[in-house]
Structures are given as C-alpha cells and as structure tokens.
Amino acid sequence: MTDPGDEGASTSGSSSFLGQHLEIDTDSAYGDDSESVLSAFTSAMSAATDYRYENGRRYHAYDDGAYYLPNDEDELDRLDLQHEMWKMVLKGALYMSPIPDSVQSVLDVGCGTGVWSIQFAEEHPGAQVIGTDLSPVQPSFVPPNCSFLVDNAEKEWAFDQKFDFVHVRMLCMGMHSWPRFFRQCWENMEPGGWLEVREIMFPWGAAGHGPQDLEQIAKSPLLEWSDLVRQGAAKVGIDTKACLRFEELLRGQGFVNVRRKDVQWPLGIWPKGEEQKKLGAYAVENLKSGLQGISTAVFSRNLGMSREEIEVRLAHARKDLKEGRYYAPIFMYSCQKPDVQKASAEPAFEARTISDAPASGKHSDNGKDQEPESNGRRMPQ
Ligand SMILES: C[S@@+](CC[C@H](N)C(=O)[O-])C[C@H]1O[C@@H](n2cnc3c(N)ncnc32)[C@H](O)[C@@H]1O
C-alpha cells in the first residue's frame, strides 16, 4: 500500500518523515542513500499521481484501468454531493449498522473524497478511521484519528490490524470479484465486527417498470444508456447487478444478521413527498456531470464508441432524464462477523430510511426490509 501521507518514504527509525526523534544512520548499508530513498518516494507517489487523461477527463493512475470513473475536480464535487444524498436516504445518519459507541477501528474501502471517513472520525473521536482508494485525492487537513492509503481493494490486503467496522459505498465499477472482496473483509474483521455495503445497480428503472424491463429500456435513451453501462462493465467481468446477490454471498462467507434495504433514488422531482423531491432534485444535479463521468471510459474503452457517439447518446439521455420518471436502484446491506465467544443475540436494528413510513416510530426489523417497496415502482427480483 502507498501512503499518500508519505510515511512509507521514511526508511529508518520509528519517526514520522518530518518527525521529532530522528536517529542518525551511522551504519547505512546503502552508503549515501538519499538519492535512492528520494527516488523510491518519487516513484511511489508518481505511481499514484501520473494520472491518465482521456476524453477530457482525468482518471486514476495506481493500477491504471482498474476503475472506470474519473477522479478530477468535477467528479470529486459530484461525489461530495452524492454523499449528501446518501445521508438523506438514511435521514442524516452516516451508516445503518448497529455498531457500538465503543467502535475502535474502522475501514472505509474506496473512500473517494474521504468525506464519509472524515465525518465518521469526527463523530467517533475514539475510533481510528482508515480510508483507502486508488486515487490519493483526499484532503490532507483531516481529524487526527483519520488517515488515507492508496490501495486496490482487489489486491491482497496487508493491514496489520483488524477492523470492527468496514464501510463500502459505490465500489461496483471497480470490483471484479465480490466473493473475493467479502472474503478479504471477513479475514480483516474482528469477531463481532460489522460490514456495511451500499451499491447502485445498472440498469436503472422507470416508474411502474422494473430495471429488468427490456421493452421499457429499448424505448428510453436514459435506460438504454444505463444498460450500456452494464454491458460495457460486463465486458471486463464487472457485474453491475451483483448487488442483487449480496445476501447470498455474505451468508455464504459466514456473515450473520444480514439485513437488506432497497431504496430507489428518484431522478427528478416526480415522486410525491418533500424529501423524495429534494433527493430527486439532487440526483438531477448529480447527473449533470455524472452521466458523462459514469459512462465515458466504459463506453470508449470497452464498447469501442467514439467520443462523438458517446456525446450523442449523452444528449439523448439528458433530454430523456428531464422528461421521464426514472429512478436508480440502490441496495444497502449490513451484516456481522459472528463472535463465537458471545451468544449471538439479534441486535436491535433501528436504521430508518427516507422511504420508511413517517410517524411509525422507530424502525423495527422484522425481516420485511427485503420486501419490494410499493410506491408505484417495481423493484428488481
Ligand atoms: C463512486 S466512488 C464512491 C466514493 C465513496 N465510497 C463515496 O461513497 O463517497 C468509488 C470510489 O471507489 C474507488 N475504487 C473503485 N474501485 C476500487 C478498488 N478496486 N480499490 C480501491 N478503490 C476503488 C474509486 O477510486 C472511487 O474513489
């Protein structure tokens, strides 16, 4: 793993790179090694920051090509807006798992701008939070209990600690093997720890139609665009519908207390209700740069489309987005690594989402979360 904060560049002693307590190296096996140290540091950093520029967007450099969305300023602004949308979905909460206040070690895989890691660290000053990503795009001014690493989550993990909460949000366009990923989560978690995974699915859906409705997809440039994202990703072994199978995969790995919540992000202000309208308005804003960011690399690299063809499809999809009643299917899972030392009583599960009925008091988990929601929009089977 490459630490953008640079500690990996220090080769001697226990101090930080800029640190106090520097020891004098009187016995260097390398002779005057300042040049080699500097060059190792420079190449580690440039492996992460020699970005790829393509079709007017900037893409990650570390393990070039592993992920299909850009990492430029437009994308980072979009991710921060999207973070607000996620919070709206959970009524202001950062997570839905019933983690204890004493949570200590937290991993945010594919942390993007780091906004979730930073806010979680602020809310839990007693926890140490590590965010990992292919891109070192996180701010350097962060709470003291928060740090970031450059890492590809699909490679073997090399943490020297175990985590009691692992958070994963919207990694799907960079994930080729979810079973392997869940195995690594399991191996790097404390017994009793929680894993939370929240994903968007492609293709998307329309009011009254499921995202699998091929006839509807053929009629709508936006839904067709979303299905082309699925097709382009599938060419390189990325299954953008894998989130439908997470429950089976998580249970297969051994996780217990698996909870699933299905939510539909309205793309526009067409649904009833103030909160849904606000979410829909944010989604439209998010897709202003999002449609291009999500699809350009996957269309050009994997489907062989020219820039002109992509722009034409985007123009049609944008027009359709304004006129139709569409939604993006979202799947949220929470599960626990069993603690064999402790009897595993089912913990209370109180997460409430934007689509839970108001005035019903606290959400009580009776297994109904898996049921499709019935506000005129069909959920995928
Ligand atoms: C859509 S963004 C979501 C960012 C963040 N989780 C959030 O919800 O705000 C996906 C992030 O995952 C990162 N990513 C994708 N595939 C990855 C992989 N295999 N290993 C590490 N990071 C990955 C990308 O670089 C990007 O920053």
If one counts every other C-beta atom within 10 angstroms of the C-beta of residue 258, the result is 17
User: What residues make up the domain containing 172?
Assistant: 40-344
Is the bond preceding residue 100 a cis peptide, omega within 30 degrees? no
86 Cα nearest atom in ligand 1 = 8
363 lines ligand 1 (CB under 6 A): no
For residues 119 and 106, the answer to whether their CB atoms sit within 8 Å is no
Reading the block at residue 341, the tokens are 């030392």
Which of 318 and 211 is assigned the larger pLDDT? 318
Among 85, 133, 137, say which to mutate for ligand 1: greatest number of ligand atoms within 8 Å of CB: 133
Which residue's alpha carbon is nearest to atom 26 within ligand 1? Answer: 112
Query: Considering the entire predicted model, what is its pTM?
Result: 0.84
User: Residue 287 pLDDT > 60, yes or no?
Assistant: yes
Say if 205 falls within a structural domain. Answer: yes
Q: What is the mean pLDDT of residues 271-280?
A: 95
Say if 315 falls within a structural domain. Answer: yes
Model confidence at 231, in pLDDT bands (50, 70, 90)? very high
Model confidence at 342, in pLDDT bands (50, 70, 90)? confident
Amino acid code (one letter) for 18: L
N-terminal to C-terminal alpha carbon distance within the chain? 39
137 Cα nearest atom in ligand 1 = 27
CA of 79 to the centre of ligand 1 (A): 10
242 lines ligand 1 (CB under 6 A): no
Q: Determine phi and psi for 134, rounding to 5 degrees.
A: -70, -25
Using the 8-state DSSP alphabet, how is residue 307 labeled?
H
Say if 369 falls within a structural domain. Answer: no
* Share in percent of the chain as helix, strand, coil (round to 5): 35, 20, 45
DSSP letters spanning 165-191: EEEEES-GGG-S-HHHHHHHHHHTEEE
Reading the block at residue 119, the tokens are 């806010």
Q: What is the mean pLDDT of residues 105-122?
A: 98
The region of weakest confidence among 7-11, 278-282, 312-316 is 7-11
Q: What is the mean pLDDT of residues 97-125?
A: 97
Using the 8-state DSSP alphabet, how is residue 248 labeled?
H
Tell whether the torsion through CA atoms of 304, 217, 283 and 335 is positive or negative: negative
CA of 78 to the centre of ligand 1 (A): 13
Cα separation, 381 vs 379, whole angstroms: 6
The DSSP element (H or E) to which 47 belongs, if any, is helix 34-49
Say if 197 falls within a structural domain. Answer: yes
78 lines ligand 1 (CB under 6 A): no
Residue whose entry in the numeric block shows the structure tokens 């979905």: 89
CATH number of the domain residue 171 falls in: 3.40.50.150
pLDDT of residue 26: 55
CA of 3 to the centre of ligand 1 (A): 16
Burial class (CB within 10 angstroms; exposed 0-12, middle 13-18, buried 19+) of 155: exposed
Reading the block at residue 140, the tokens are 């350097």
Which of 372 and 25 is assigned the larger pLDDT? 25
Say if 33 falls within a structural domain. Answer: no
169 lines ligand 1 (CB under 6 A): yes
User: Residue 19 pLDDT > 80, yes or no?
Assistant: no
For residues 380 and 330, the answer to whether their CB atoms sit within 8 Å is no
Say if 377 falls within a structural domain. Answer: no
Counting Cα atoms < 13 Å in the Cβ hemisphere of 127 gives: 26
Give residue-wise pLDDT tens across range 170-217: 999 999 999 999 999 999 999 999 999 999 999 999 998 888 788 888
Neighbouring residues of 360: CB distance < 8 A, sequence distance ≥ 6: none
pLDDT of residue 210: 80
For residues 94 and 120, the answer to whether their CB atoms sit within 8 Å is yes
Cα-Cα-Cα-Cα torsion 159, 164, 170, 174, nearest 10 degrees, comes to: 20
174 Cα nearest atom in ligand 1 = 16
Quote the Cα angle for 247-109-349, to 5°. Answer: 45
Q: Which of 107, 95, 198 lies closest to 146, judged by CA?
A: 107
User: Residue 16 pLDDT > 90, yes or no?
Assistant: no
Which of 196 and 372 is assigned the larger pLDDT? 196
Say if 350 falls within a structural domain. Answer: no
Which of 299 and 357 is assigned the larger pLDDT? 299
127 lines ligand 1 (CB under 6 A): no
CA of 355 to the centre of ligand 1 (A): 26
Model confidence at 163, in pLDDT bands (50, 70, 90)? very high
Helix (H, G, I), strand (E, B) or coil at 9: helix
175 Cα nearest atom in ligand 1 = 19
44 pairs with which residues across the strands? none
User: Do you know the residue count of the chain?
Assistant: 381
Say if 140 falls within a structural domain. Answer: yes
116 Cα nearest atom in ligand 1 = 9
Among 106, 120, 134, 156, say which to mutate for ligand 1: greatest number of ligand atoms within 8 Å of CB: 134
CA of 19 to the centre of ligand 1 (A): 31
Provide the mean pLDDT of the chain.
Answer: 85
* Number of domains composing the chain: 1
Which of 17 and 39 is assigned the larger pLDDT? 39
Cα separation, 307 vs 354, whole angstroms: 38
